Amino acid sequence: MLKVRRQEAILSILNTNKSVEVAQLSKDLQVTEMTIRRDLKELEDKGQLVRMHGGARKAGFSSYSVISHEKKAQIHIEEKKEIAQKCVNLLDEHDIVFLGSGTTIGYIVDLLPTVDMTLITNSLSIFNRLQERNFQSTILIGGRYRHSTDTFYGVFANDMIRQFRVAKAFIGTNGITGINVTTTYEDEGQGNQLILDNAEQRYIVSDFSKLEISALYTFYSLKNINALITDSKITEAQKQYYEHFTKVL
């Protein structure tokens, strides 16, 4: 069977069963398990499935549900604090840092050391918290404002983001599926992509509940970041899987 037909067959089986096993595919398609593993890797690289131990599952089988910024602030609080501490441990005096929007990143502000840093954000609430802590060198990205995500976005925001080169960028996500880092709104995703491209060190922050979840728009690849920063509730299998693409902290 030609590779393209074989991979079409794999995707067809996934559409029906939601998950597949390497051994069963090898038997059904009459090829070696090594061939199946190569097929699964190619399909995963295209974002069409997610490999797991011994097989694969359909990409985006679990999807992200939109939750208001206020409600998100009330869930997984301890996990978000754990992630925030890991982020702060990566910071150095005199750093130029971009803090994206999101409740997880909001906890970074509470833990920031009072040292000389330049802090840039596209989140109104994070900017206000920085002011409350009397950080002197802060920059707020302007543009259209979306209340549900507490984010400035759009043409004006992106024009401003393009001007910056930062040492470190910390960006949240609505879901990670395979190598794909996703968000609900494509216009916000475009801004995230711009600042990550302009950062020397790129970090995606995500608590355990957003792993193996897909939102609408893919804005970055795990292969192009320095680390995925998550909490201790990540499973060992998930950690090993994501470590194929990037460091997991």
pLDDT (0 to 100) of residue 172: 96
Domain count for the chain: 2
Decide if pLDDT at 143 tops 60.
yes
Quick one: 84 and 30 in the same domain? Answer: no
Quick one: 87 and 189 in the same domain? Answer: yes
Residue 181: in which H helix or E strand, if any?
strand 180-183
pLDDT (0 to 100) of residue 56: 84
CATH of the domain at 50: 1.10.10
Among the three residues 12, 35, 58, which one is the final residue of a domain in this structure? 58
d(CA 223, CA 225): 6
Quick one: 196 and 118 in the same domain? Answer: yes
Residue tagged 């502000």 (tokens)? 109
Residue tagged 């995230």 (tokens)? 192
pLDDT (0 to 100) of residue 69: 52
Looking at the domain assignment, is residue 201 inside a domain?
Answer: yes
Decide if pLDDT at 60 tops 80.
no
Decide if pLDDT at 43 tops 70.
yes
d(CA 43, CA 15): 14
Decide if pLDDT at 68 tops 60.
no
Quick one: 83 and 52 in the same domain? Answer: no
Nearest residue to 125 (alpha-carbon basis) of 108, 150, 93: 150
Looking at the domain assignment, is residue 86 inside a domain?
Answer: yes
d(CA 205, CA 68): 18
Looking at the domain assignment, is residue 126 inside a domain?
Answer: yes
Quick one: 141 and 188 in the same domain? Answer: yes
Between 190 and 148, name the one with better pLDDT: 190
Mean pLDDT of 43-61: 75
Quick one: 108 and 46 in the same domain? Answer: no
Looking at the domain assignment, is residue 64 inside a domain?
Answer: no
Quick one: 165 and 208 in the same domain? Answer: yes
CATH of the domain at 112: 3.40.50.1360
Tallying the residues shown for the chain, one arrives at 249
Quick one: 44 and 104 in the same domain? Answer: no
Mean pLDDT of 68-97: 84
Looking at the domain assignment, is residue 63 inside a domain?
Answer: no
Looking at the domain assignment, is residue 218 inside a domain?
Answer: yes
Quick one: 109 and 203 in the same domain? Answer: yes
> What domain range is 216 assigned to?
69-248
Looking at the domain assignment, is residue 83 inside a domain?
Answer: yes
Decide if pLDDT at 142 tops 80.
yes
Q: What is the pLDDT of residues 93-140, one digit of tens each?
A: 999 999 999 889 999 999 999 889 999 999 999 999 999 999 989 999
- Virtual torsion, Cα 211, 232, 118, 138, nearest 10 deg: 70
Quick one: 175 and 78 in the same domain? Answer: yes
Looking at the domain assignment, is residue 240 inside a domain?
Answer: yes
Quick one: 117 and 223 in the same domain? Answer: yes
Quick one: 75 and 52 in the same domain? Answer: no
Mean pLDDT for the chain overall: 89
For the chain, counts of helices (H) and of strands (E): 10, 15
Q: What is the pLDDT of residues 178-236, one digit of tens each?
A: 899 999 899 999 999 999 999 999 999 999 989 888 888 999 999 999 999 999 999 88
Among the three residues 35, 58, 81, which one is the final residue of a domain in this structure? 58
Among the three residues 58, 77, 99, which one is the final residue of a domain in this structure? 58
